[in-house]
Structure 1
Amino acid sequence: MHNFAPGSASRAAASLAEVVRFRTVSSRLPAEVDAEEFEAFLAALPRLYPSVHAALEVERVNGAALLFRWPGTSGDPGSRPTVLMAHYDVVPAGDEQAWTHPPFSGHSDATHLWGRGTLDDKGQLVAILEAAEALLDEGFAPAHDVYFSFGNNEETAGDSAAAAVELLAGRGVRPWLVLDEGGAVARGAFPGVSRPAAVVGVAEKGILDVELLTRDPGGHASTPPRMGATARLARAITRIEQNPFPQRLPEVTAEMLRRFGPHAPAPLRVAFANLSLLRVPMTWLFGRLGNETNAMTRTTVAITTLEGSAGANVLAATAKANANIRVAVGDTVAGTVERLRKVIRDPKVELRVVEGNEPTPVSASTGPQWQLLEDCISATFPEAIITPYIMMGGTDSRRFIGICDSVYRFAPFAMDAADRGSIHAVDERISLETLGRGVRFYETLLRRL
C-alpha cells in the first residue's frame, strides 16, 4: 500500500501511480513497442474515471490515441471550443538499476511519486482527468465544448496528433484555445531571479535532422590518403562547431526579460528596463549565461550520431553524421541548410534533410486566451512571475497550428532544476503537492472557460 498526501493530491497520486506502471514506451522500432501495455493503459481509464467516460464522448484515433468531447451547454459545437492535450507514451527508462526506485513501480515516499512519465507526461493527463472527474461529480458542465486530445506517440514525433487535427478539421472544429505540455513553474530558471517563473510556450523552434555524408574509395588503413572520408567529415563538423548561427533576441524573449526585470538583481534590473537601448549587448550576454539561454538566441546545431569504418584497420568508404538542429523563430529549414553548406565549404560533403519542421507561428501574449491562462496560473501559483517564452523542444501541439491561432504550451507543475533534469533521465518524479496544484489549475481553467 502507498501512503499519499492528504487533500486533492491523494486521489490523483493513486491514479498516477497506477498508470505509471504501464510500460507505454515509444520507439521508432516496432519491436520495442509493447502494444499490450498500451491497451492495458487504455482499459484502466474507464475504471479510474467513470464519470468522465459516462458523460463525455470518447473515440480512438489512429489506433491508440484518444479524443474526448465534453459537450458544452451552449449547444453550438462551433462556439469557442477548447482542446486540452497530453500524451501517455514515455521514453525508455534506460538503466533501471540506476533508479532510486524502479521506473515503472509508481513508488510514493509520501512526498514524491517516482516513475517514468510522472512529469512527461502522464502527470498532466491525470491532472486533466482528475479535474474533469471532480467537476462532473459536482454537476458541472462547461459552457462551450471541451476536447481532451491524448497522444500515444508524441515521444517519436508520431502522427496521432495530426490524425486528431484532421478529424476535428473535417468536423469544422476550429479551437479557440489549445493547451499542451511545455513550460512549467520553474524555480531557479533565470540567474539572479529568486521567484519561480511560470513560463508559457507561445511558439516552438523548428526541428531539423540533416545527414552529413562523405565518400572515399576506402581500402587498407596502412596506406591512408589525405582527407579521407572520416577526416573530411570531421573537418565539416569542426567548421559547424566553430561557426555558430548568429544571435538574435526574439521579441518573445525580450518580453520575458522585461517581465523578469523588476525581480532581477540591480544591474540586470536596469539593463532590462532599458532593453531597447541595450539590446545588442544584452543579446551577447544572454547568449553566454548558459546553454539554455544561449539556445534562446539562435538556431542551434548538435552532432548526435557518427558512423565510419566497421573495422579498426579498414578505411571508411563512407562516413556520416546526424546534425540535430533547432531552428529559431524567424529562420527557415531551407535557409538553415543553405547556411550549413556555406559554413562547411566543401562540395564533397553531401547534405540530406532526413526530417524537418519549420518553427511554429507565435501565439499572442495578450488578448482573452492569454489573459485566461494568466488568471488561472495566478490563482494556482500566486508566487510565480508569468511570462511567454519560445520552447526549445517540440510537442504534439504544433500539429494544431493549422486550425487554431492560440496554441500554448504549459504544464501546471512546479519544478526545480533537479525535477527538470529528471525528464528523459533517471529518477523522474513529481511532488504530490504540485500534482494536487496541477489538478486545481485545470479545475480553475475549466470553470473559467
Structure 2
Amino acid sequence: MAFKSHNYTLLPQGESEPLTASRQRTKWNWKRILHFTIPGILVLVLVLFLSISQAIKGSKDPQVFPHPDTTACPQFPAIESLSDDRKKLETEVRDKIGSDDFFNESLKRMQGAVQIPTESFDDMGKVGEDPRWDVFIEFHDYLKKTFPLVYSKLEFTPINTYGILLEWKGKDESLKPYLFMAHQDVVPVLKVTESRWKYPPYSAHYDGRYIWGRGATDCKNNLIGVLEAFEILLEKDFTPGRSILAGFGFDEEISGPQGAQFIAKHLEDTRGKDSIELIVDEGGLGIQVVDGATFALPGLGEKGYFDVRITVETSGGHSSVPPDHTGIGILSQVISAVEAEPYEPELTPANPYFTTLQCSAEYAPDMDSWLRKTIKKSLKSKKAAKSVADYIAKKNVFQRYLMQTSQATDLISGGVKINALPEKVYAVINHRIAVESHVDDIRSKLRTLVESKILKKFSMSLDAWGDVSGNTSSSAVGQIILEDFDMPLEPSPVSPFDTDAYKTFTGTIKQVMGEDIIVAPSLMTGNTDTKFYWGLTPNIYRFSPMREEGRANAHTVDERVGMKEHIEAVKFYAQLILNGDGS
C-alpha cells in the first residue's frame, strides 16, 4: 500500500511501476535522508538514554554529590536606599560616625569598657551566691551612664540579674525583629602572664592605632559598637520599621548557662519559637584577604562539642609489688589508642566551609590552579572533594579542623601517693564534632576502639554509657568506664544563604565595607552563645565586622583592637538597622 508524506509518494516494496526522472530523484533523496537521519536519531536516543541513566545513577552513586544548578557562591548586591529621606539620614549617620569627635568619644567609651575586668571563671557559682559576679554591677552602671538615650528610650529587661535585653519597638509589628548579640564577660588574665603584656591588660592603653586589653576584641568591641549605633540613631529621632533587640549575656566564656541560656528562654517564652528574623552575634573570621581577593567570612554554622571522661578502675595495692600495667599505664594505652586513630578530614556540601572554598575558587585570582580546578570538580565529585580535604589538611591545621572532628586529651588525674597504686584514674577528651557527624558517632567509635584495642589485651569490663561488655567476672583486672563529662552539643543547624535576611545582611556588608568584597559562608570551630537560640530563627550569622588587621590575640597576651576598624563596625551595625525595614 502506498501512503503520502508531504509531496513524496512512496511505493510498497516490489513496486514495478516505471519511474520518471522526477520520481527517481524523489526516491533517491528520500533514501539519502533516511540514510543520514535514522543513525542520527538513534545516536540522539542513545545519548538521552545514557544521560538519564547517569542522572539516576548519579543520585545514588556515593562518588557523586547531588548539587543544584545554581552558582556555588551566590553573591547579592550592596543595598541601595530607595527614598531620599532615607539617603539623607544615612549620610548624616555616616558623617557623624566618621567624624573626629565621634572617634574620640568612641575611644573613651571603649577604654572605659575594657578597664572593667568582667572576668568569668569555670568554677563560678550561681548569680547571687558567688561574689565574683559583682563586677558586673559596675559594668552595668558604666553602660547606663555612657548610653543615656539607650537606657532612657528603649525597654530594658535584666535577665537573671546581669543579662541585658534591650527592645527598640518598631513601627510595624508584623515584621519579626532583628537581634544583635554580644557578651559582657572576658576570659581571665592569669597573674603569671601579666608581665608578658606590652601594656597592663586592663589599662586599655591606646597607642594611636590599637586599644590594648583583655576583652578589646572578644567582644566588648561588638557590645559597645552595637550600643553606639543605637545611641546615634536615637539622637536622630529614628524609629525602626521592625523592632530591634539586643541581648548581652555575661558568661559566654564559660558556655553561657546563666546568661544567654536565660535570655533565649525568656525570648521563647514571651515571643515564641521562630519569632526572630535575623540574629547577628560575634564570630566568623571577619574580613580577610585570601589569594588576592577580599572576603567577608560569617559563620553560618558551628561544630558540635563533646567531652568524654575515660575512667580506669583497678584494685590498687602497694607499689613494691605492682602488676605489669597499673591503672595509669592502662589509661595511657587507651589515650595512645585514641590518638593513633584520629578522625579523617571530610569535605561535603553540608559544611559551610565547602562553600567558602567554592567562593575562593570562583573569585580568588591567586589561588593555585590545580586547587581551583579540583575545588570546582568537588561540586559533583566526592573523589575530588577528598583530594581537596587531604591537600588542605596537610597545609593548614586550622583549616583541617574545619573539615574534621578534633579530639584532644585535656585533663588527666590519678594517683595520690608515690608508693600506692591508684585505684581510680581518669582522663577527659574534648571533641569538636564535624558538621557531618553526631555525638553518637563519637560514642560508637570510642567504644569500638576500647573493645578492639584494650579489652583484647587486658581482662577488664567496659561500661560504655551504661552498656557493659568484656570480662564482667570476678577474675577481671578492673573496669573501664566511658561517660559524658558534661552536656554534649550536636553541631548547629547551618543557616541558609538564600533568604531575604541573608541578602540584607550581606548587602549591608558590601554597602558599608566595599562592593568588591566577596561574602563567603564559613564555619565556626568553637561555640558562641547562639547555641541557645536555634529555636528562635534559622538565620543566625556569626560575624564580627572587623578587618583582619584590626584585631589580634583574643584570649591571650596582648589582645587588642584597632580603632579604625571599630569605627567601621559601628557603621555596619547602624546601617543594618536602617536596612531592616527596606526603605
Normalising by structure 2, we get a TM-score of 0.72
Tell whether the 8 Å contact from 1:26 to 1:33 is kept in structure 2 after alignment: no
Mapping for residues 25-424 of structure 1, pairs under 5 Å: 25-30=119-124, 34-74=132-172, 76=173, 79-94=175-190, 95-159=193-257, 160-173=259-272, 174-187=275-288, 193-251=291-349, 252-261=352-361, 262-263=363-364, 264-276=367-379, 277=381, 278-345=384-451, 346=454, 347=462, 348-355=479-486, 356-382=488-514, 384-416=517-549, 419-420=551-552, 422-424=553-555
CA displacement at 1:184 relative to structure 2: 3.4
CA displacement at 1:313 relative to structure 2: 3.7
What is the alpha-carbon distance in structure 2 between the residues aligned to residue 212 and residue 140 of structure 1?
57
What is the alpha-carbon distance in structure 2 between the residues aligned to residue 286 and residue 255 of structure 1?
15
CA displacement at 1:176 relative to structure 2: 0.7
Unaligned runs of 5+ in 2: 1-98, 455-461, 463-478
What is the alpha-carbon distance in structure 1 between the residues aligned to residue 180 and residue 561 of structure 2?
20
CA displacement at 1:8 relative to structure 2: 4.3
* 1:121-168 alpha-carbon deviations (Å, 9 max, x no partner): 111000100111111111211100110000011111122212112211
| Partner SS state of residue 215, structure 1 | strand
Q: Which amino acid counterpart does residue 139 of structure 1 have in structure 2? A: D
Tell whether the 8 Å contact from 2:343 to 2:404 is kept in structure 1 after alignment: yes
State the Cα RMSD in Å.
Answer: 2.0
2:565 corresponding residue in structure 1: 434
What is the alpha-carbon distance in structure 2 between the residues aligned to residue 366 and residue 288 of structure 1?
32
Tell whether the 8 Å contact from 2:158 to 2:164 is kept in structure 1 after alignment: yes
Unaligned runs of 5+ in 1: none
What is the alpha-carbon distance in structure 1 between the residues aligned to residue 139 and residue 510 of structure 2?
33
CA displacement at 1:370 relative to structure 2: 1.2
Identity of aligned residues (%): 27
Larger radius of gyration: 2
Moved more, 56-65 or 257-266: 257-266
What is the alpha-carbon distance in structure 1 between the residues aligned to residue 428 and residue 180 of structure 2?
34
Tell whether the 8 Å contact from 1:286 to 1:297 is kept in structure 2 after alignment: no
Structure 2 vs 1, CA of residues 214 and 50 (structure 1 numbering), >3 Å: closer, same or farther? same
CA displacement at 1:12 relative to structure 2: 2.1
| Partner SS state of residue 405, structure 1 | coil
Structure 2 vs 1, CA of residues 108 and 445 (structure 1 numbering), >3 Å: closer, same or farther? same
What is the alpha-carbon distance in structure 2 between the residues aligned to residue 33 and residue 381 of structure 1?
43
What is the alpha-carbon distance in structure 2 between the residues aligned to residue 87 and residue 239 of structure 1?
39
What is the alpha-carbon distance in structure 2 between the residues aligned to residue 45 and residue 206 of structure 1?
34
Tell whether the 8 Å contact from 2:299 to 2:524 is kept in structure 1 after alignment: yes
| Partner SS state of residue 446, structure 1 | helix
Structure 2 vs 1, CA of residues 13 and 250 (structure 1 numbering), >3 Å: closer, same or farther? farther
Tell whether the 8 Å contact from 1:184 to 1:412 is kept in structure 2 after alignment: no
Q: Which amino acid counterpart does residue 245 of structure 1 have in structure 2? A: Y
Q: Which amino acid counterpart does residue 276 of structure 2 have in structure 1? A: P
1:443 corresponding residue in structure 2: 574
What is the alpha-carbon distance in structure 2 between the residues aligned to residue 309 and residue 63 of structure 1?
42
Tell whether the 8 Å contact from 1:185 to 1:384 is kept in structure 2 after alignment: no
What is the alpha-carbon distance in structure 1 between the residues aligned to residue 123 and residue 322 of structure 2?
37
CA displacement at 1:175 relative to structure 2: 0.2
CA displacement at 1:115 relative to structure 2: 0.6
Tell whether the 8 Å contact from 1:179 to 1:397 is kept in structure 2 after alignment: no
Tell whether the 8 Å contact from 1:72 to 1:141 is kept in structure 2 after alignment: yes
Q: Which amino acid counterpart does residue 358 of structure 2 have in structure 1? A: R
Tell whether the 8 Å contact from 1:254 to 1:275 is kept in structure 2 after alignment: no
What is the alpha-carbon distance in structure 2 between the residues aligned to residue 399 and residue 442 of structure 1?
22
CA displacement at 1:386 relative to structure 2: 1.5
| Partner SS state of residue 158, structure 2 | strand
Structure 2 vs 1, CA of residues 186 and 222 (structure 1 numbering), >3 Å: closer, same or farther? farther
* 1:259-315 alpha-carbon deviations (Å, 9 max, x no partner): 011312333222223223421211221222222111111111111011121233432
CA displacement at 1:419 relative to structure 2: 4.0
Q: Which amino acid counterpart does residue 200 of structure 2 have in structure 1? A: P
CA displacement at 1:258 relative to structure 2: 0.8
Q: Which amino acid counterpart does residue 539 of structure 2 have in structure 1? A: S
Normalising by structure 1, we get a TM-score of 0.93
| Partner SS state of residue 80, structure 1 | coil
What is the alpha-carbon distance in structure 1 between the residues aligned to residue 425 and residue 287 of structure 2?
41
- Number of residues paired by the alignment? 439
Tell whether the 8 Å contact from 1:202 to 1:389 is kept in structure 2 after alignment: yes
Structure 2 vs 1, CA of residues 101 and 237 (structure 1 numbering), >3 Å: closer, same or farther? same
Tell whether the 8 Å contact from 2:166 to 2:246 is kept in structure 1 after alignment: yes
What is the alpha-carbon distance in structure 1 between the residues aligned to residue 200 and residue 158 of structure 2?
30
Tell whether the 8 Å contact from 1:211 to 1:323 is kept in structure 2 after alignment: yes
CA displacement at 1:21 relative to structure 2: 1.1
Tell whether the 8 Å contact from 2:311 to 2:482 is kept in structure 1 after alignment: yes
CA displacement at 1:400 relative to structure 2: 0.7
Q: Which amino acid counterpart does residue 414 of structure 2 have in structure 1? A: G
| Partner SS state of residue 526, structure 2 | coil
Tell whether the 8 Å contact from 2:308 to 2:485 is kept in structure 1 after alignment: yes
What is the alpha-carbon distance in structure 1 between the residues aligned to residue 244 and residue 433 of structure 2?
32
CA displacement at 1:391 relative to structure 2: 0.8
CA displacement at 1:222 relative to structure 2: 2.9
What is the alpha-carbon distance in structure 1 between the residues aligned to residue 410 and residue 223 of structure 2?
31
| Partner SS state of residue 179, structure 1 | strand
Tell whether the 8 Å contact from 1:229 to 1:319 is kept in structure 2 after alignment: yes
Q: Which amino acid counterpart does residue 155 of structure 1 have in structure 2? A: E
Moved more, 45-54 or 327-336: 327-336
2:93 corresponding residue in structure 1: none
Structure 2 vs 1, CA of residues 196 and 218 (structure 1 numbering), >3 Å: closer, same or farther? farther
* 1:22-60 alpha-carbon deviations (Å, 9 max, x no partner): 111001323786233110000111110011112110010
